[in-house]
Amino acid sequence: MAVGVFDSGLGGLTVYEAVAKRLPDVAFVYYGDNAHAPYGVRDSDDIFALTCRGVERLWEEGCDLVILACNTASAAALKRMQETWVPGDKRVLGVFVPLIEALTERQWGDNSPPREVAVKHVALFATPATVSSRAFQRELAFRAIGVDVEAQPCGGVVDAIEQGDEILAEALVNSHVEALKRRMPHPQAAILGCTHYPLMQKVFQSALGADVTVFSQANLVADSLADYLTRHPELRGAGLQSKYLTTGDPASVSNHATQFLRRGIRFEAA
């Protein structure tokens, strides 16, 4: 029984690794739309169309449940997909929910009024499309008050990761952290609001300082998915085989994935 993991490129592999480790008895099919990465510079209609195409391909693999391991797709396309496009026997879930649960220390099903939380100053690092959508701030406002969020669009970081250029990616992360700290000198917490960014988590942490709590999504999503599948076992799907699919060049994508994850990954053409 298989669950789909969708991303615009390599970033969702951080989520794939975490969910596969957390749920070793579940097959996972990964779809990276590397041919069209990055999504963060595209408009919402384009993101919606590309995301729907990828999700349909995962449905073909027997994945009735698909995780959008892409913050840009979650921010720009998920709500529209759920309201207008996803059929009743399928589910498409995003990655914001577990992150906001952790930050606000409350469960998603808790519909009580917004309340004050311990963290008051939050730095959000995300793609330009995620930042402009304000989806994170909007969802956070339903659950917490008095939280100052300073968002930094991190142009170029995803491109550098997709191209396998770790030196450039590190330089860009340091530059973006410096730019944010000019506006918010002392954040208490930082959100890595793109699933590519955990590949550079040590660089973010070093630039921010040891006193800043850095929230990365992969393990939070894995725990949330385990709970969801316990409550909805029928959505594990009919697929039986784990695999990695890409719209890009399989050899090149495999090489870059292997470089960042430090283990062999073999992609097939989607």
Q: Each residue of 135-190: pLDDT tens digit? A: 889 888 888 999 999 999 999 998 998 888 889 999 999 999 999 999 999 999 99
pLDDT attached to residue 1: 72
How many residues belong to the chain?
270
pLDDT attached to residue 219: 86
Q: Average pLDDT, stretch 59-78?
A: 94
* pLDDT over 80 at 60, yes or no: yes
Question: Identity (one letter) of the amino acid at 44?
Answer: S
| pTM of the predicted structure, to 2 decimals | 0.85
* pLDDT over 70 at 134, yes or no: yes
For the question of residue 194 being annotated catalytic, the response is yes
pLDDT attached to residue 216: 80
* pLDDT over 70 at 49, yes or no: yes
Would you place residue 122 in the very low, low, confident or very high pLDDT band (cuts 50, 70, 90)? very high
What does the pLDDT look like over 93-119, one tens digit per residue?
998 878 888 888 876 567 788 889 999
Which residue is listed with tokens 């960014």? 197
Q: Average pLDDT, stretch 28-51?
A: 95
**Do the Cβ atoms of 222 and 195 come closer than 8 Å?**
no
pLDDT attached to residue 108: 56
Instruction: Determine the topology of domain 97-217 in CATH.
Output: Rossmann fold (3.40.50)
* pLDDT over 70 at 56, yes or no: yes
* pLDDT over 60 at 2, yes or no: yes
Beta carbons within 8 Å of 247's beta carbon, 6+ residues apart? 32, 33, 34, 35, 36, 54, 269, 270
Residues of the chain with CATH 3.40.50.1860: 2-94+218-269, 97-217
Higher pLDDT, 259 or 34: 34
* pLDDT over 70 at 70, yes or no: yes
pLDDT attached to residue 126: 94
Output the average pLDDT for the chain.
92
pLDDT attached to residue 240: 83
Q: For 2-94+218-269, give the CATH class.
A: alpha beta
pLDDT attached to residue 235: 87
pLDDT attached to residue 168: 97
For the question of residue 70 being annotated catalytic, the response is yes
